[in-house]
Each structure stands twice: as C-alpha cells, then as structure tokens.
Amino acid sequence: MSHVLIIGAGGVGSVVAHKCAQVPEVFSRITLASRTLSKCEDIARSVKQRTGIRIAVEQVNADDVTATSALIRQLSPDLVLNVALPYQDLPLMDACLATGVDYLDTANYEPPDVARFEYKWQWAYQDSFTEKGIMALLGSGFDPGVTNVFTAWAAKHHFDEIHQLDIIDCNAGDHGQAFATNFNPEINIREITQRGRYFEHGEWVETDPLSWSMTFDFPEGIGPKKCYLMFHEELESLVRNIKGLKRARFWMTFSDQYLTHLRVLENVGMTRIDPVLYQGQEIVPIRFLKAVLPEPASLGPLTKGRTCIGCLMKGIKDGKEKQLYIYNICSHEEAYREVGSQAISYTTGVPAMIGAKMMLQGLWKRPGVWNMEEFDPDPFMHDLNTYGLPWTVVEL
Ligand code: NDP
C-alpha cells in the first residue's frame, strides 16, 4: 500500500496515471501534479471513468525546488515519479534529497541550452542519495528502460557474454499528419538532430546526424523498414554495466516525409535551441515550433498501426556463437482503447509504472542512483507480460 506522486501531466503522465490506477493493491494512493492543473484534472476524470479510481491533483512548478519540496512534505508520498521533461530531473532529484523520498524518471537530464545526452549529471547524485538512504531509478521507460531490461535478461539467461547489441526502435504507425512527433516535440527534435554516436572496441565513434542507415525486416508482418543510427542514452549505461560488450548501437525508423520536413525546419533555423530576438522579445525557435505542432496527446485517436522495439544481440554461450532478438509489438489503436493514448506514450508509461511497482514492492530497492540493468530483470520481464507489453524472444 503506497502513495505515488506523479509529476507531469503530458502524454506519458496520462498513461502512468491510468496504469497505476489499474494496480490499486500497490498504488493505493495516487497524486498527479503538473504545471497546468487543468491537464491533471482532465486525466483524473478519464482515470475515474475508466477505472473507477479517484486520483488527487495538484499544481506545481517542478523547476522550483522549494515549492516541490513543500508539496512533497505536505503529501509525504513513498515515491516521486517524474514524467515531466528532462529539464526537471535535477530539480526533482534535489527535492527528493531535501525530503528523503525515492525518485524515478524515464529520460536523462538535459541542460536546456545544450542538447547533451549524458548521465553524468544524475550519476553525480550517487553519494548524496546513498548517504540519505534513498534510491533513484533512472530511465524506466521503453528506450531507455525496457531495452536495458531486455539486455540484462538476455545476459542473465542466454549468454555468457554479449558482444554486439543493436537496439532497434520502429514506429510503423501513421497519424495522418504532415509532420508531428509522438512525444514532446522539443525533446524529440533535440534528440534526433544531434550527431550520431555508437560504441565500438571501448570507444565512442561519432557520425553525422542520421547519416547511417540500414534496412531491418521487422517481425509479425511489419516488414522491412529503413532505420537510422543515432545516439540514445541507454547505450552509455549499458556499455558500463554489461560486461564484454564490444559494440553497441541504436537505430530508429523515420519516414521520408518526416525526414524531409525535419531537414527543411533545420535549414530555416526553426530547430535552434538558442534564443533569437523577435519584435523586441527573446524566443527560442524550437519552443515556438512546439507551440504550432500538434500536441502528441492529440495523436491518440488518429494513430493507426504498431510499434516494434527490441534488442538484437550476438554473443557466446558455452563456447558457441549465438544470436537472439527480443522485442515487443504494441498497437496504437489498442493502447488508445485501453487508456486513451497512442503507443509511444503507452510503451513509456507502462514501464514507468512497473519500475515504480518494483521499487514500492521492495523487489528493486537499494540506496543510490541506478540504471535499469543493475537490477534483477526477471520480475520486470514478468510484469511486462502482465501489464500490456508482452515480449517475444527468438533465436536467429
Ligand atoms: P509532454 O510534453 O506531453 O508532457 C510533459 C508534461 O510535463 C506536461 O504536462 C508539462 O506541463 C509538464 N511540465 C513541463 N515542465 C514542467 C514544470 N516545470 N513543472 C511541472 N510540470 C512541467 O511530454 P511526454 O509525456 O511525451 O514525455 C514525458 C517524459 O517522458 C519526457 O521526459 C520524455 O523525454 C520521456 N519519454 C521517455 C521515453 C522512453 O522510452 N524512455 C519515450 C518518450 C518520452 P504543461 O502541460 O504545462 O506543458
């Protein structure tokens, strides 16, 4: 019986709230707090309608450590579940330290003025969290998140050593819009337009943004799709924690239409993250762009098709070479029927709920700051099958 304080009432926050409400034996009390109270109220209404569970709502600016600490003290939750934006990771970790409450998120901290994807800022909290006797679980979404758990599970049960890891993220869905992103546009575009990076023989190799591609034949009728190499944050922790990895890469599918729009927006300066002066006022172009693009949450009823995200691994077992592929397929329409969101929010929100459940049940519990692959993958893998993200493993 635990009280979870969810921060962030966006696409992912909505899924987390619905999924926590489906597991009242663990999440006996749920509070949803965000910058815009009306968004929390809308989600609370939907949760009540779909599950019969009443959740409390609060307004908070998570950049304000004092205000958030006061809210945490007032509510005394067992866990702060951060599904606001990556910018809020550090202020929320500070608020958890000030109040002695455990912390979970789904994306690594990013400084607003530089698009850097690194765990160094959050790993720096290792000593202070340990001394305070509280825990932070980093990156409990799908990628990062489930992909880390898939790798840890394969390392535990199927390999003596994994030598090559390719994480492949395919959205074979279609929302019918000329250009839209499936999660927060600002965060999404910052990530995609950065330089590519992969790990090989103990070193990071850089590539120009989206300059490398391959075609991968996705299972269960999804078929061949072009995937582009990019850096993704779970690579950084996996190469540290999975012993024997010689190469680790991340790939994502994009349609030609998406890439053409992105190129034009970049070329005309609309994806810039530095402020420009407009009619005497400073505006950040990518933030203005976010304001005119469709809200990811609005894509729920429009998106058809499926996602397929998985890990392709090569390594050795009992002296023999082995190749394994573990993946989940998630339907946009089924996610929408169940919780009113498309599959990108769903595949992030479900693992956030499961990560929280692992912590609150004491299955994953250790003071300090941890990535997903540092815990026993078995109970998490079990819960993926139970709570809406069933996985398949095939030996190739
Ligand atoms: P949205 O933009 O839809 O939602 C973000 C929410 O956070 C909004 O409700 C926003 O409030 C709120 N928020 C922003 N700033 C503050 C603040 N200072 N104080 C309080 N609330 C704030 O994003 P998503 O739901 O799509 O994404 C949520 C997180 O999930 C992101 O960090 C994203 O990177 C991560 N993610 C992780 C994935 C994974 O697989 N690991 C995949 C997809 C997303 P307002 O409504 O007022 O703007």
- The ipTM assigned to this model is 0.99
Residue 167 has, within 13 A of its CA and on its CB side, a CA count of: 24
Residue 327 CB neighbours (<10 A):
23
pLDDT at 296: 86
Distance from the alpha carbon of residue 344 to the mean position of ligand 1, in angstroms: 13
Ligand 1 closest atom vs CA 187: 34
User: Measuring from atom 1 of ligand 1, which residue has the nearest CA?
Assistant: 10
pLDDT at 259: 92
Distance from the alpha carbon of residue 184 to the mean position of ligand 1, in angstroms: 6
pLDDT at 186: 86
Cis before residue 144, ω within 30 degrees of 0? Answer: yes
Distance CA 164, CA 148 (A): 14
pLDDT at 116: 80
pLDDT at 297: 81
Distance from the alpha carbon of residue 349 to the mean position of ligand 1, in angstroms: 11
Nearest C-alpha neighbor of 72 from the set 332, 81, 374: 81
Cβ < 6 A, ligand 1 pocket: 8-13, 34-36, 39, 60-63, 83-86, 88, 106-107, 139, 141-145, 183-184, 187, 296, 344, 348
User: Quick check: 244 and 257 in contact, CB under 8 A?
Assistant: no
Distance CA 125, CA 89 (A): 11
Phi/psi of residue 7, nearest 5 degrees: -115, 120
Distance CA 297, CA 181 (A): 10
pLDDT at 353: 98
List domains and CATH numbers for the chain: 2-141+351-362+366-371 (3.40.50.720), 146-340 (3.30.360.10)
* Low-confidence spans in the chain with pLDDT less than 70: none
Could you read off the pLDDT of 238-284 as tens digits, one per residue?
999 999 999 999 999 999 999 999 999 999 999 999 999 999 999 99
**What sign results for the dihedral spanned by CA atoms 230, 233, 234, 236?**
positive
Phi/psi of residue 205, nearest 5 degrees: -110, 130
Ligand 1 closest atom vs CA 14: 25
Q: Take residue 239 and report the two structure tokens written for it.
A: 């190469």
DSSP type of residue 39: H
Distance CA 390, CA 141 (A): 15
